Amino acid sequence: MDTGTTMRAANDVMAPNDLSSWWMPFTANRAFKQNPRMIVGAKDMHYTTPDGRQVIDGIAGLWSCNAGHARDPIVAAIQRQAAELDYSPAFQFGHPHGFAAAARIAQMAPGDLDHVFFTNSGSEAIDTALKIALAYWNVSGQGQKTRLIGRERGYHGVGFGGISVGGIVSNRKFFGTLLAGVDHMPHTYSREHQAFTKGEPDWGAHLADDLERIVALHDASTIAAVVVEPMAGSTGVLPPPKGYLKRLREICDKHGILLVFDEVISGFGRLGFAFAAERYGVVPDMITFAKAVNSGTVPMGGVIVRSHVHDAFMKGPEHVIELFHGYTYSGHPLACAAALATLDVYRDENLFERVRTLEPIWADAMMSLRELPNVLDIRTVGLVGAIDLASREDGVGKRAFEAMDRAFREHDVVIRITADTIALTPPLIISEDQIGEIVDKVGRVIRAVA
């Protein structure tokens, strides 16, 4: 290939002329392709646009890049692994980085959550956890326990299991009847009782008792598992009421029901601990993770499982597969190498502890926006914040969509929106000055869309 052809090929990648082929996920495709928001580079706290602007990342990619972008130790680990072992069979063969990564992750989890099953995303992690729950009761001689309990406004990825136990209407309504035998608890948010709360709200622990109603309706002998996010994230950041998660654990223990925490968003430091389970003093039977396990660099997820659940499968002939489930890329060598390097960064830079130090500073900065036009509520917990804006008369979500677009184009900050809620979840390496910068820019955006 001559130099001119090479240059044209590079330009086609960096500034493509044809945007029609990529059907983009969770995106207003027609609006985007009329006026794209393109990103071509990233480093630490910032993205780079094709015209060279430095745009501060207010959402850690998608709750993913907790260590920041393109961190040298993580990049180097991925490069080394690609040159050493790019792929090995995931079935019936193993590689050292997979076992090392699983051990490190299990060590970070509370209680006897000692076993890790790798997947490639949070969606796969949740569907894996649901299958483990159903299979566990089968191998335990209680195969009638098949019912799964989720929660309204819950987000558990986009697999059929995840949208079945999930409770976000638009993620469910287009896809038929979904899984049978699923019920939902109420969500935990009440603006009347919780508005402008820093951290966990005082009101709402009693909502966990709705699980008793569901048990009375279906009988515990039919219920396999309860699945919740410790902090509901994608629906607009709903911190759990004080005591709520402990009450769920008590009810599950009382009735012999597995409890699954979906920590795809809250895991690896977002709330100041390796897992939200530690923050809230609850040991679930399974924890799902993804995203920040390797700071979003290589697709990876997984399920951490308590010993009694894992051990129930380790019976029968030793040459027989214990769980007929897995993925071609489970525990991919590059993903595992990236995870190990990322966990080193978290440890060496004390990033989880850093979140606990920054949490009150972050909360105060976010709450400084409460008097701005159309602000209905602000919620903060850990290094997470959400701002509810009043909807416009001509359509729900229009105000926040304009805010997201203006933030990127005019104020050099990336924010995330859900309907008319702005969510902010910056990398854990953020400085106090950068907290001020993000909040100041978001304030200017809110005024602009008033």
Q: What is the pLDDT of residues 123-139, one digit of tens each?
A: 999 999 999 999 999 99
How high is the pLDDT of residue 17? 80
Give the CATH number for residue 401.
Answer: 3.90.1150.10
Both 287 and 155 in a single domain? Answer: yes
Q: Is the pLDDT of residue 337 over 70?
A: yes
pLDDT tens digits, residue range 49-89?
A: 999 999 999 999 999 999 999 999 999 999 999 999 999 99
pLDDT tens digits, residue range 142-188?
A: 999 999 999 999 999 999 999 999 999 999 999 999 999 999 999 99
Beta strand pairing call for 113-119 and 147-151: unpaired
Give the CATH number for residue 299.
Answer: 3.40.640.10
Alpha helices in 153-203 (DSSP H): 160-165, 169-172, 191-194
Q: Considering the chain, what is the average pLDDT of its residues?
A: 96
Both 366 and 232 in a single domain? Answer: no
Confirm if 242 and 230 have CB atoms less than 8 A apart.
Answer: no
Both 136 and 249 in a single domain? Answer: yes
* Residue for token pair 């390796």: 274
Confirm if 159 and 123 have CB atoms less than 8 A apart.
Answer: yes
Strand partners, 147: 223
Average pLDDT over residues 26-34: 96
Q: Is the pLDDT of residue 266 over 80?
A: yes
Q: How far apart are CA 165 and CA 171, in angstroms?
A: 11
Both 407 and 423 in a single domain? Answer: yes
How high is the pLDDT of residue 1? 46
Q: Is the pLDDT of residue 357 over 80?
A: yes
Both 300 and 312 in a single domain? Answer: yes
184: containing domain:
74-348
23 in any annotated domain: no
Q: Is the pLDDT of residue 10 over 60?
A: no
Q: Is the pLDDT of residue 7 over 80?
A: no
Residue 270 burial (10 A CB sphere; 0-12, 13-18, 19+): buried
Both 211 and 163 in a single domain? Answer: yes
Both 437 and 359 in a single domain? Answer: yes
Q: Is the pLDDT of residue 287 over 90?
A: yes
Domain count along the chain: 2
Q: How far apart are CA 105 and CA 96, in angstroms?
A: 14
* Residue for token pair 């483990």: 132
Model-level pTM? 0.95
Decide which of 348, 364, 386 is a domain's last residue: 348
pLDDT tens digits, residue range 79-116?
A: 999 999 999 999 999 999 999 999 999 999 999 999 99
How far lies 277's CA from each of 75, 163, 260, in Å? Answer: 29, 23, 10
